[in-house]
Amino acid sequence: MGDVFSFEALRDEVRRLERQGEDGVPPLLDALIQGALQARASDLHLECHKEDIRIKYRIDGVLRPVVSLSKTLQTNFIARLKIVSRVMSFKKREPQDGRIEVQFNGQTVTLRSAFLPTLHGESVTLRLPDESKRAFEIETLGLSAGLDAQLLRLIGALQGTLLLTGPSSSGKTTTIYAILKRLVQTHGDRVNILTIEDPIEAELEGVSQTQLDPVGGLTYASGLRAILRQDPNVIVVGEIRDDETAHIAIQAGLTGHLVISTVHSGRAAGVFTRLLNMGIEPFLIASSVSGVIAQRLVRCICEECTAPYEAPAHELESLGLAEGNSLPSFKGKGCARCNGTGYFGRIGIFELLLCSEPLKESILRKSPTQVIQDMAVRAGMKTLRDDLREKISSGLTTLEEAISLALTE
């Protein structure tokens, strides 16, 4: 299919292999997986419908239809997926998870597979590693120079609680891994870093990583208690989902550890309300939490087809710009490199809320989220919308992406 991925070439190859019937299933699966890797897809979806099987790739966060397969291939195709995933092929009425190892560009790549029974057959999703992010460098996340320096000072203290928030697939794990890699580079064997994750996205040198196993009794809460008995310096909890985990994590941040975790909330200031709703005492939150990072991912404009773009008034208004104001903006025209989309890759947008003394006093008073947000902005915090505006004017992303995020303040 060449150096530049082509949907048309992949579809031609799929049709050729489809005509081979059962014998074409193994190479057909290989072609679809190799195509997904070439296309930089984060996920490959197989959906069983009444009349056909539909294959889709998620590329730069957007789901794109690839090809429809004949329904006659369904049984053999899913059976082949189960064999290479090393799961039970006879189990068709319960979810299963597996792993697939394939060769790509001379390296072994591991894909996570998930099988789910549906009305017309099993739905299968393959999660592909994002090789562009495997370096896990803070400098490549998309942090502005000011935020970069603030984050490094925050983690340099090796104590307190750093929380990340944002929707699913907004890059939180990548940010955490980049922080851990920097800590290993800075401190080497002088720090003991332990994590409990669900799942472990990538293996990190110098970090002891533990996989969550609720069936076996290893939950976030029980795993966190066990980690605290391992004399850690840095603790990562994949997600604070419940009151018990929240209490243990916040307490750990008070006792000389650097605790890093994620909490679901719309923006950085909302994390404090979320913790209060979990029953955490305000004085514990104010004493333990040193900072909160909120983040999103936006698609980058393709560098090979970018061009200036005159944004209409309604698009500018969506970013809070009054009539008459302007914002330098750009857009991708669409080319072979980006498969006509105008986008290639993604970058993070961030806001970093630092817990100053006045803000801690506001937390102690259980102030509403908006009050904390306004206080942080007055203290100099750049909001997600501010960071987005900068990336639009720098030609990194588009107003279209900004509108799709629907950020409000």
In contact, 62 and 78? CB cutoff 8 Å:
no
Beta strands in 238-317 (DSSP E): 258-262, 289-301, 306-308
What is the value of pTM for the model shown?
Answer: 0.90
Reading the block at residue 22, the tokens are: 């059962």
Q: Average pLDDT in the 329-348 region?
A: 94
| Among 199, 157, 198, 204, residue whose Cα is nearest residue 178 | 204
Tokens 């209060």, residue located: 276
Single-letter code of the amino acid located at 152: L
Gyration radius of the chain over CA positions = 23
Q: How many residues does the chain have?
A: 409
Reading the block at residue 146, the tokens are: 């000011």
Band of residue 37 on the pLDDT scale cut at 50, 70, 90: very high
The 10s digit of each residue's pLDDT in 81-123 is: 999 999 999 999 999 999 999 999 898 999 999 999 999 999 9
Q: Which residues pair with 43 in a beta bridge?
A: 58, 127
The span from the CA of 350 to the CA of 368, in Å, is 22
In contact, 402 and 306? CB cutoff 8 Å:
no
User: Which comes out higher in pLDDT, residue 316 or 282?
Assistant: 282
The 10s digit of each residue's pLDDT in 116-167 is: 999 999 999 999 987 655 679 999 999 998 899 999 999 999 999 999 999 9
Band of residue 409 on the pLDDT scale cut at 50, 70, 90: very low
The 10s digit of each residue's pLDDT in 267-298 is: 999 999 999 999 999 999 999 999 999 999 99
Greatest Cα-to-Cα distance within the chain, rounded to the nearest angstrom: 70
